[in-house]
Structure 1
C-alpha cells in the first residue's frame, strides 16, 4: 500500500503573507470524491486581506480532509488528489491515523446539525463577544457564516451598534504598529503644477474609454525613476545592506469602504501608460465588485497613497515595512500665481509628499527624487513620449 504514495498529490495550505499565522478554509469548490483536472481550483482560502484559490496538482479524485470553516496554519494538508486506480494510502509517516479520515466536526470548529449553517471559529467567538444569537445567524440563510456576517448582526439589547475590528483592519493595524515601532521616518512635500498632465489625462480618458486621472501618471512617473534612484525601491537584506530591485513594483492604495487594500502594479517601469491605466482600472473594479488575491497585494517595493479629496492639502503616509518610502497624493487645488509677464493667472497644483526611512536615504536625495518626479509630471510629453502624449494636449507648466 505504501508504494502508492508517490502518486498522491497533497493539497497544502501555502504561506501567502507575513501578516497572518492562520488562514480560513473558506469553501470547497469541488465535492469530496469528485474527479478534477490538473490546475483546476478545488478550494478557496481567506487571509486577512484576500481570498485565494488552491488548485489540484494533478488530475484525479479529490479527497477532502477538513471541513469548510476550519482555520489552519500554513503547511496543513487539507486534502489529496488520488489518480485513477490508485487506492487511498492512508496517513503519511508521522501523521495521526485520523489525518485523512472523512472530515467531522470537532471542538475547535463546531459544525452544527445538517440543517444548520457552518459557523467558523472566528465567527463563533465574535458571536459571544457581540451578543449575536444563533437565531440571528440562522436568519442570514447562509451555508457558511463568517466574521463579517456576524459583525453585521452585532447589536446589544439596548440597540447600541458595536464595531469589531475587521480582519482587513486588523492587518492594517499590525502594519501600522510595525512601521511606527521600527522605521525612523522623515517627511518632505513638493508642489507640482498639474494642468498639463490633467489635459493629457482627459485625452486618454476619451481615447481609452475609461476614467484616467493623476494617480496613473504618478505611478508611471515613479516607475520611470527606478533606474536613476534605485535606493528608493531597494529592500533591506540585513547588516546595513540594501538590495536593488529588478523593477519598479508600485503599490497603490484602494479603499471603497470595504477596507484598505494596496494592490501592486508589477514591473511598472516596463509597462506603457496604457497598460498601467488598465491595471489600475482593473484593481478599482476588483475593489468594487470582487476580492483581491494575495498575488495582487504582494511584491510592492514602493507605495503611492491616495488622499484625493479636494480639501486635503497634504498627507503624510507611513512607510510600509520592508520598503524605503511611500508617496502621498492629496487633493488638487486651484491657486493664483504670477506668470512670466507679471500677469495674474490660475493654475492647478498638488503637494506630493514622501515619507522615507532616514536610515536608507537622506533629505538631499529625497529632494532630487521629488524634483525629478515634478519635472516628469509637469512635462507629460517627456514622460509619455510618442506612445501616450496627445496631439493637442497642453504644454507642461512651471512649478
Structure 2
C-alpha cells in the first residue's frame, strides 16, 4: 500500500511553495521521520519528513516545481529498507572518499546550507556535516562562514581552490555570475513594488536627542542584565516601548485598510526587521504594548538567533500592525523605509552621531539620531504622522514619561 507524501498545510499568508531539494531518489530506502524533501516558501524552508519506513516509489513534483498546500509530492512504497540502510553507510562512505566534492555539494548539502556557502564563497565540498547521515546543515554552513570571518589570515588550509582560480582572472576581465532569485528575495521585491504602486506613501523626519536614554542604559545595564538572567538592555526596547505608547494615542497609525474598510487594531503587534542570510525577515512581537523592557529585549534576542539559524517559523513572521527597522546597525544616517502592507506605517531608526546642537542658547555636543516615519497617506494625515513621530521623540528624550504615562 502506497503512502502519499504531501506538502504541509501553508498558512493563509503563504500561497504556495517551491520544491527546493529531494534528498531521496526513487528506490531509496526511507526511515520514519527521515528528511525526504525541502519546500521553500516566501518566508521559510519547510522540511517534509517520512511518515513511515519504506521505499521512495515515485516523485510527482520535481525540484523547482510549484506546490500548493497538501498537494501530492510523491509516494512511499512498502518495504522494510533493512538491506538498504545497512549498505547505505558503506556506499555513502565510499562515495565520500572517492568523490568528496560531489558528495558535499549534491548528496548531503541542504538547500539553505548551499545558499549560504555560495553567497559567502565557500566550497560546498569542504563543509563537514554534523546532521543525520553526514548531512551538511545550515548551522554547519553558518559556522564555516564565522570561521572564515574570524580567521586572521585566510590562506591557511582551504584557499587552495580560490588561489588556483584567481590567476585565471587577468586584469580587466569582466566576470558575471547568474544565479536564480530566491523566493524570499523575489517576494520582498514584489511586495516593495506593490507598496509603492498601491499606496500614497510619504515620509516625515525628525531627530531625537539620545542623551537621557543612553545615560539610563549606561547606569542600569549591568543591574538589568543581572536581574533579568542575562538579558541585555539595548536601545530597541526603548523604541518599541515608545512606539506602542504613541500607537495608543494615534490609533490610525496602528490601523490597516481592508478593501473599503479601515481596521483599527486594539493591540500592538510590532514587527522588528532582522537581516538574515536569506534576506530581510520581520518577526513579530505579539502584544508588545503589554511587554516590559526585559521581555522586549529577550524577544528580539530570541528572534535574532532564530533568524541567523534559519529557525523562524511562518507564524512568527505573520501579521504585525506596525514595523520598526534599524538601519543604524549598518551605519545608515538617513533613509526612507517602505511600508509593509497591509500596515499603515513603519518607523526607521538610524545611526547615533555626536553633533553640535543649540541648547538654551549654548552650543553643546549631543548624541543625535534621525528618525523616519513612512506612512500611507490614504489612512494617515500629515498632521497625525508628524505628531506621532514627535510623541516618540518626546518619550525618548524624557524616558520618565513612559513610566508616568504623560
| TM-score band, normalised by shorter chain | 0.5 to 0.7
CA distance in 1, matches of 2:317, 2:275: 13
Structure 1 position 185, deviation (Å): 0.6
Which of 229, 238, 260 aligns to 2:250? It is: 229
- Tell me if 1:162 matches 2:174: no
Q: Deviations over 1:222-250 (max 9, x none)?
A: 122232211112121212x2111131111
Partner residue, 2:388: 369
SS at match of 1:355: strand
Q: Deviations over 1:253-284 (max 9, x none)?
A: 11155421111111111211111110011122
Structure 1 position 287, deviation (Å): 2.7
CA distance in 2, matches of 1:257, 1:228: 37
Cα distance change of structure 1 residues 231 and 66 upon mapping to structure 2, 3 Å threshold: farther
Cα distance change of structure 1 residues 202 and 141 upon mapping to structure 2, 3 Å threshold: farther
Map 1:208-223 onto structure 2 (within 5 A): 208=225, 209-223=230-244
Q: Deviations over 1:63-108 (max 9, x none)?
A: 88876975552232559xxxxxxxxxxxxxxxxxxx75539xxxxx
Cα distance change of structure 1 residues 16 and 202 upon mapping to structure 2, 3 Å threshold: farther
**Residue range with higher mean Cα deviation, 349-358 or 229-238:** 229-238
Partner residue, 2:70: 76
Partner residue, 1:283: 303
Structure 1 position 336, deviation (Å): 1.8
CA distance in 1, matches of 2:21, 2:328: 35
CA distance in 2, matches of 1:338, 1:270: 37
CA distance in 2, matches of 1:41, 1:266: 32
Which of 344, 356, 379 aligns to 1:336? It is: 356
**Residue range with higher mean Cα deviation, 10-19 or 346-355:** 10-19
Structure 2 stretches of 5 or more lacking a match? 24-28, 79-87, 93-98, 125-161, 170-174
Partner residue, 1:318: 338
Preserved CA contact (<8 Å) 1:250 1:266: yes
Cα distance change of structure 1 residues 289 and 18 upon mapping to structure 2, 3 Å threshold: closer
Partner residue, 1:248: 268
- Tell me if 1:346 matches 2:365: yes
Partner residue, 1:102: 77
- Tell me if 1:274 matches 2:269: no
Cα distance change of structure 1 residues 142 and 178 upon mapping to structure 2, 3 Å threshold: same
SS at match of 1:226: helix
- Tell me if 1:265 matches 2:285: yes
Structure 1 position 308, deviation (Å): 0.5
Preserved CA contact (<8 Å) 1:41 1:54: yes
SS at match of 1:308: helix
SS at match of 1:140: helix
Q: How does the TM-score come out when normalised to structure 2?
A: 0.67
CA distance in 2, matches of 1:337, 1:183: 36
Map 1:1-399 onto structure 2 (within 5 A): 12-16=7-11, 18=13, 21-24=16-19, 34=32, 45-52=39-46, 71-77=65-71, 100=75, 102=77, 137-140=102-105, 142-143=107-108, 146=111, 149=114, 152=118, 160=175, 162-164=177-179, 165-203=181-219, 205-206=221-222, 207-208=224-225, 209-239=230-260, 241-309=261-329, 312-340=332-360, 342-384=361-403
- Structure 1 vs Structure 2 CA RMSD: 4.1
Structure 1 position 42, deviation (Å): 9.9
Cα distance change of structure 1 residues 242 and 144 upon mapping to structure 2, 3 Å threshold: same
CA distance in 1, matches of 2:400, 2:22: 49
CA distance in 2, matches of 1:51, 1:18: 15
Structure 1 position 375, deviation (Å): 1.6
CA distance in 1, matches of 2:57, 2:403: 53
CA distance in 2, matches of 1:161, 1:291: 32
CA distance in 1, matches of 2:291, 2:48: 29
Structure 1 stretches of 5 or more lacking a match? 2-7, 80-98, 104-112, 117-133, 387-399
SS at match of 2:281: coil
Q: How does the TM-score come out when normalised to structure 1?
A: 0.68
CA distance in 2, matches of 1:245, 1:333: 35
